[in-house]
Amino acid sequence: MMGISTWGTVQAAQPSEWVKGRLVVQTRAGLPDTELAEILKPHGGKSRRIGKTDLFIIDLPPGMSEQAVLSQLEHNPHLKFAELDAIVKPAFVPNDPYLGSEWHLAKIGATTAWDRSQGTGVVIAVLDTGVDASHPDLAARIVPGWNVYDNNSNTADVTGHGTAVAGTAAASMNNSVGVAGVAGAARIMPMRICDLSGNATGSSIAQALAYAADHGARVANISFGGVPGNSTVQTAAQYMKNKGGLVVVAAGNNGINENITPGTTMISVSAVEQTDVKTTWSSYGNFVTVAAPGTTIWTTTRGGGYGQWWGTSFASPVAAGTVALMMAARPDLPNTTIESLLTSTAVDLGTAGRDAYYGYGRVNAAAAVNAAVAATASTSDTQAPSVAITSPTGGASVSSVVAVNVSASDNVGVTRVELRVNGSTVATDTSSPFAFSWDSRTVANGSASLAAYAFDAAGNSKASSAVSVGVSNAVAADTTAPTVQITNPASGARVSGTVSVKVSASDNAGAAGIRQSLYIDGGLRATASGASLSYNWNTRKVSHGSHTIQAVVRDAAGNQTATTIQVSR
């Protein structure tokens, strides 16, 4: 699986399957679209932004090798990462037709938790194969979602997996029908991310996360294997986390140590048996955050029925439902506090403390909700982040697009870093490592002052020490002539008395460099700097007949334009 490198390149194992003719990249904050186009131009690539993030899907021309292009892009200093668009599959074991009981609800103390919270007011985005919105145990829970695979609003379930996942998280409760989800009063936002075979991609998941985060979802569940180590999904998950949400994902069903670097963007869930022992098929590793029941989960099935399912696909929505209960119980708590309480109240299994099989332990909905209810409203965080620009260094000479690296940390967490040049914000980055691409051509040659401002969730901020750099960009020759118009009198007019002659001019480099000269019958009568010239002409002193008025303008580069009119007295 792929991981985010320190400053913009990915060195990682290749996924077993990926979308042909496509890559996914994350640009540094502030990289102009024109510069990304230049980066892609040698490869014939075309970019498509994912939501409001800095993630881009790169479509390559037919016949172009994704791996060959990746080997070039992953070393580009203006890209945080580049990776193949991995194909991921649902993390489930085929369902059993025999009935069972919802043992998992009692195991995690859900029935006790329901005395204090049932998930009301919380929207859970189910990123999956779609959801059967007509199911009697789901119909009342559905809010509009999106089909990112077909780019339309049809979120009908194409395989049945998504309906089972949705029911595990939030099937209706107290309706005298079927089963109850962990958070039976929460809402379900169906997000179809897959093809008709049930296969999704890193980019489709990222698109769905961005959509869900922008449309009110507080929790997102992703029951697909291979997700926790995907850089594209990690970035999109951080986008949702920055907007107050939490992303819960399946650890996978490979039964091996996935060797994924632990991260903070997602809650990764392994699966346990009824005896609180990890299942033989559940993936594990230091990335696992918590464990949850994942065998014989009795839930909704496509077509209005019910059945039992197995897999980390179902451990994940058990945890997601628990998060929804906590958020509903205390909507005022920050998502980071909810996550901390989820892990601190988990039933510790295996080796004491966090371990590779169970993370912090098996989720305990009763204890988690009680802890959320009892939590003191967070005392005011008054500690500002620390921040420094690590490159470029002071006194450096820069040109064109400049890579600016920033180090920022906080006692709770940095939510964003702004890069300011000469006091103006030019880009904002919301995910670590904080890295920018600043187009130095937007300022004049000479000294420029760079400063980074780091912010935390409490609104505390701190500015880095200013870094002064010397901007030295080649100045393109100005060959565009200014424009000029005699606005009064009109050409062909008959004049008498004192006439106000008015001239208006403009130039591509601005009015400051314009020099104007006014001639009447070949004699220089007036000069002016800037966009306008005005001269009072006493026509009583000139002969009757035709007279020529000419305006000549010259810009700072020496380009010149003239215009002439004829008037009569």
Rounded Cα distance, 561 and 505, in Å: 10
Range list for CATH 2.60.40.10 in the chain: 386-471, 483-568
Q: Which tens digit of pLDDT belongs to each residue from 491-522?
A: 999 999 999 999 999 999 889 899 999 999 99
Range list for CATH 3.30.70.80 in the chain: 18-86
Per-residue pLDDT at 381: 81
Q: Which tens digit of pLDDT belongs to each residue from 171-190?
A: 999 888 889 999 999 999 99
Region of 337 on the Ramachandran plot (φ > 0 left; ψ -120 to 50 alpha; else beta): alpha
Per-residue pLDDT at 3: 26
Residue 380 has pLDDT above 90, yes or no: no
The predicted model gives 136-152 an average pLDDT of 97
Residue 126 has pLDDT above 90, yes or no: yes
Catalytic residues: 128, 161, 313
**Token code pair at residue 357:** 């099989």
Per-residue pLDDT at 13: 57
At residue 563 the predicted structure's pLDDT band, cuts being 50, 70 and 90, is very high
Q: What is the pTM of this model?
A: 0.79
Question: Contact, 450 vs 469, CB < 8 A?
Answer: yes
Residue 392 has pLDDT above 70, yes or no: yes
Residue 483 has pLDDT above 80, yes or no: yes
Per-residue pLDDT at 96: 34
Rounded Cα distance, 269 and 267, in Å: 6
| Edge-to-edge strand list for the sheet holding 200-201 | 46-49, 55-59, 18-27, 79-88, 200-201
Whole-number average pLDDT of the chain: 92
**Burial code of 55-68, b = ≥16 C-beta within 10 A, e = fewer?**
bbbbbbeeeeebee
The predicted model gives 446-452 an average pLDDT of 95
Q: Residue 304: CA atoms inside 13 Å, Cβ hemisphere, count?
A: 2
The predicted model gives 284-298 an average pLDDT of 96
Per-residue pLDDT at 95: 43
The predicted model gives 279-292 an average pLDDT of 97
Per-residue pLDDT at 100: 42
Topology, domain 386-471: Immunoglobulin-like (2.60.40)
Residue 12 has pLDDT above 50, yes or no: no
The H or E element spanning position 190 is: strand 187-192
The predicted model gives 311-321 an average pLDDT of 97
For 93-374, CATH number?
Answer: 3.40.50.200
At residue 376 the predicted structure's pLDDT band, cuts being 50, 70 and 90, is confident
The predicted model gives 116-136 an average pLDDT of 97
| Edge-to-edge strand list for the sheet holding 483-488 | 483-488, 498-506, 532-538
Per-residue pLDDT at 65: 93
Q: Which residue has the higher pLDDT, 68 or 15?
A: 68
Per-residue pLDDT at 379: 62
At residue 204 the predicted structure's pLDDT band, cuts being 50, 70 and 90, is very high
Please identify, in words, the CATH class of the domain defined by 483-568: mainly beta
Residue 8 has pLDDT above 60, yes or no: no
Rounded Cα distance, 203 and 216, in Å: 20
Topology, domain 18-86: Alpha-Beta Plaits (3.30.70)
Nearest to 236 by CA among 262, 260, 207: 207
At residue 101 the predicted structure's pLDDT band, cuts being 50, 70 and 90, is low
Question: Contact, 395 vs 468, CB < 8 A?
Answer: yes
